Structure 1
Amino acid sequence: MPTTRMRRAVVLVTVLLGAGVQSFSGAPSPPPPSPLLPRLVSEGHAPGAALLAGPAYSADPGASTESAASADSAHSPDSANSAHSSDAANSADPKRPAGFPDSAHSTDSTRFESAGTGIRRADRFRAGSVTKTFVATVVLQLDAERRLRLDDTVASHLPGLLAGPTGRRVTLRALLSHTSGLPDYATSPGPAPTTAVEAVRSALAVRPPRPPGSYAYANTNYAVLGMVVERVTGRSYATEARRRIINPLGLTGTSFPGARTALPDPHGRAYDARGRDVTSLDPRGAGAAGELISTLDDLNRFYAALLGGRLLPPSQLRALLDTRPAHGAYGLGIYPRTLSCGTTVWGHNGHIPGSYVRTAATADGRRSLTFRVNTDTLAAGTLAALEPALLEDEFCTDRERSRAGS
């Protein structure tokens, strides 16, 4: 009977609509924008600030990363001009670790926020000392391949670089963990060196090395590591990072500029503390300690892969996160921060003229946050106060729980 059928149809539609409304209303609403990011701009007197946060890329924890042998066969080493990657070269290797999408873009559930002016999500920027995590990953991969050992001395790979007993007692592990006792060339007076050898010599001209064992952050350590990678592989650290990390992960916005002074497009502008445009600069003064160019998406993707076990075997991953040599302050090219909620996040910051960036991720690599400002100096105290607050806001508050859908 038509009337009965109509009634049944009305009931069915009502039930379906009710189910849809219930499903929609039960879905977690997106968290509100962080109130902290605008404070980096207003209180820090920065032109702009941005962050990208959210769940990491999908990863199969049971799958192992291919060794680099199966992959495509502020100071730079002597071969900077010829061996560094270009953006075209960065996309040349189609191989990807299992579990990662082919695209370098992040999932739809990530959150991008910006404040002030001049920063877009896709912009490339100078990532400073985040370079150290890339270089450390290359060294640990070489350790896994038994092409070097972390307890090798500098003298065993670079005889004569560090004179006297220093070269015979400083190990690669000490360089990676900043416990070598070498002085920091970045604090040396005079013009910035343009090669790694110059960087080491300028550091040692200021003061002699201290005995190894105490943690003291020094860019010189990574200038030496860049030379070790080149001596062991016959290729620059930039080439090795490209073929071992950048290409396999599809980090299409990441490159090592070598002597190239311009940022690749797209990019915004970068400013020093006096408001001068420093977008173009000679990156050779950063080299293996800090020359990297990258994007928000790429940095989240890299740390997710690294901590998720996509780039290192278990033994080397444990070594990466071992802070005992540095008495809890630093691992090997990465450092921890334990938050008030008990969560420990791992990552690195980067500080170079015109840019400050900080990346942090959970120990399993499943959640990450990268934020940046387009100046290298914020107003006094602003960064010290707001960086921890940004990490707490992302990893310890209802924001994190709402994003996880719990």
Structure 2
Amino acid sequence: MPTPRTLLALPLSLAFLCLSMTSSQAGPAPDTKALVRLLVTRGRVPAAALLAHDSRGLGATPAGTDPERAATDYALGTTAYARSGTGISRADHFRAGSITKTFIATVVLQLAAEHRLSLSDTVERHLPGLVHGAGNDGRALTLRSLLTHTSGLYDFTEDTGGTVPVTPIRAVRTAITHPPADQGRFSYSNTNYVLLGLVIRQVTGDSYATEAERRIIAPLRLTGTSFPGSRTTLPSPHGRAYAADGSDVTDLDPRVAGAAGELVTTLADLDRFYSALLGGQLLPPRLLREMLDTRTAHGSYGMGLFPVKLPCGTTVWGHNGRIAGSYVRTAATLDGRRVLTFRVNTSEIADPGLEPALLAAEFCPRTS
């Protein structure tokens, strides 16, 4: 079974992949529906689905808007759905892997807005004595460094293979048996977000799942989204999930990822969440700007989001998620008015050029 771990595709490599694919095509670029079909034929996945949302005709919904109004505004937008292969439907629940990180980062930034923590707080302040050993020192690490993956902490899933359910404390203790990478350099690590989940509990007295439910899932009416904890089954409806060797991995203990990748959700819910987040409905402007600031990670990552600049000059924001039997990608314009989510029911896409081509087909102006 391949390791169900989340991998971050760097913006620069995505841009180059997109450039190479579009430059090699003769005539107009294919649309998103054609590319979804290619995920099955050229990408060799069992099934793929994409849901796009466009609310550019609506007025902007400012921060602080009543959640019911926000949900209504979203419903007024137009959507386009494409599906290829068998075993996937629009309403399916699926595992979203590291897209969980955007939810966790949003909760942490909301707590910062409430002055219950500061991004400059050290890890030691909230989790005394936990990060210590093999050169790791929680006194030298800030919450900002966790959010931006610049802490240097080792990724615990390198040891567990992303297949072993572990408690958050055990995940951190596994990581700190290894010396850190250079602090201040971008180095993607699931350990960072496991620690942020622990910080949320320490600050609020509730789990990250409870806080995300109260602050994000319920207000936005994300009725298909949940943090399953140790539940190994998916809610209905759902299709099957397959490893690269074809084995069925639909049932999975989400504790293999925890706060770094536990989320279960739907296409429509992810579109709604990213539209609301980037549209200013979940964070005040100052904190949303912090979330989108990539300077700490030298352009690679903000806080739970990363940018991709497409060949046409448009930059989209979002995240991807990879866990056993599932790969998911959400991307949106800076204002959140145009957003797409696509998923496949396996961990790998054979042709890596298809993802950036999908983004370009959706977000770049079409030429005849």
Contact 1:54–1:111 at 8 Å: present in 2 too?
Answer: yes
Q: Deviations over 1:24-82 (max 9, x none)?
A: xxxxxxx966211111111222110010113149876464327xxxxxxxxxxxxxxxx
Q: Which residue matches 1:299? A: 270
Q: Does 1:131 align with 2:100?
A: yes
Q: Matches of 2:211 and 2:184 in 1, distance apart?
A: 29
Tell me the CA shift for residue 252 of structure 1. 0.2
- Deviation sequence 1:256-303 (CA, Å, 0-9, x none): 000100000011110000111111111111110000000000000000
SS at match of 1:369: strand
2:176 to 204, 209, 219: 204
**Within 1, Cα distance between the matches of 2:42 and 2:68?**
42
Q: Please give the TM-score of this superposition, normalised by the length of structure 1.
A: 0.79
Matched letter for residue 366 of structure 2: D
Aligned counterpart, 2:355 = 387
Task: Give the AA of the match of 1:160.
Answer: G
Match of 2:304 among 316, 323, 333: 333
**Does residue 37 of the first structure (1) align with residue 48 of the second (2)?**
no
1:173 maps to: 144
Q: Deviations over 1:348-389 (max 9, x none)?
A: 00000000000000000000010000001232xx1x211100
**Contact 1:59 1:98 survives alignment (8 Å):** no
Counterpart selection for 2:164 from 188, 192, 197: 192
1:268 pairs with 2:239: yes
For 2:17, the equivalent position in structure 1 comes to none
Instruction: Report the secondary structure of 2:70's partner residue.
Output: coil
Alignment of 1:183-262 (within 5 A): 183-189=154-160, 192-205=164-177, 207-262=178-233
The answer to whether the aligner puts 1:343 opposite 2:311 as a matched pair is no
- Is there any run of 5+ residues in structure 2 with no aligned partner, and where? 1-29
The answer for the alignment partner of 1:88 in structure 2 is none
Q: Please tell me whether Structure 1 or Structure 2 has the larger radius of gyration of its CA atoms.
A: 1
Determine the structure 1 residue equivalent to 2:5: none
Q: Secondary structure of 2:225's match?
A: coil
Distance 1:46 1:228, change over 3 A: same
Equivalent residue for 1:109?
A: 78
| Residue of structure 2 equivalent to 1:397 | 365
Q: Which residue is equivalent to 1:375? A: 346
Q: 1:62 and 1:217 mapped to 2: Cα distance?
A: 33
The alpha carbon displacement at 1:189 in A equals 4.6
Paired with 1:107 and 1:125, the residues of 2 have a C-alpha distance of 25
Q: Are 1:60 and 1:99, in contact at CA under 8 Å, matched by a contact in 2?
A: no
Output the CA distance in 2 between the equivalents of 1:294 and 1:233.
24
1:60-79 correspondence runs (5 A): 61=60, 63-65=62-64
- 2 CA distance for matches of 1:185 and 1:295? 27
What is the match of residue 52 of structure 2? 53
Checking the alignment, whether the CA contact within 8 Å between 1:59 and 1:308 is kept in structure 2 is: no
Structure 2 partner of 1:158:
127
- For the Cα contact (< 8 Å) 2:62–2:279, is it kept in 1? no
- Whole-angstrom distance in 1 between the partners of 2:127 and 2:32: 50
Q: Is the 8 A contact 2:92 2:236 kept in 1?
A: yes
Letter in 1 for 2:48: A
The answer (yes or no) to whether the contact 1:60–1:98 under 8 Å persists in 2 is no
- Residues of 2 paired with 1:247 and 1:44: CA distance? 36
Q: Distance in 1 between matches of 2:150 and 2:141?
A: 9
Change (3 A) 1:342 1:279: same
1:59 and 1:199, CA in 2 relative to 1: closer, same or farther beyond 3 A?
Answer: farther
The residue type equivalent to 2:174 in the other structure is: S
The answer on whether the counterparts of 2:249 and 2:325 sit within 8 Å (CA) in structure 1 is: yes
SS in 1 for 2:132: coil
| SS of aligned partner of 2:183 | coil
Equivalent residue of 2:275, what SS?
helix
Q: Match of 1:222, SS?
A: helix
User: Which stretch of the first structure deviates more once superposed, 295-304 or 53-62?
Assistant: 53-62
Letter in 1 for 2:282: L
Deviation at 1:345, TM superposition (A): 0.3
C-alpha separation in 2, matches of 1:189 and 1:226: 19
1:308 aligns with 2:279: yes
Q: Which residue identity lines up with residue 397 of structure 1 in the other structure?
A: P
| In structure 1, distance between residues paired with 2:139 and 2:337 | 40
SS at match of 1:224: helix
SS of 2:33 mapped into structure 1: coil
In structure 2, the partner of 1:146 is 115
Q: 1:59 to 1:97 in 2, by over 3 A?
A: farther
* Unaligned runs of at least 5 residues, structure 1: 1-30, 67-94
- Give the count of matched residue pairs: 336
Give distance in 2, aligned partners of 1:246 and 1:213.
Answer: 32
**Identity over aligned pairs, percent:** 60
How far apart, in 2, do the equivalents of 1:61 and 1:361 lie? 15
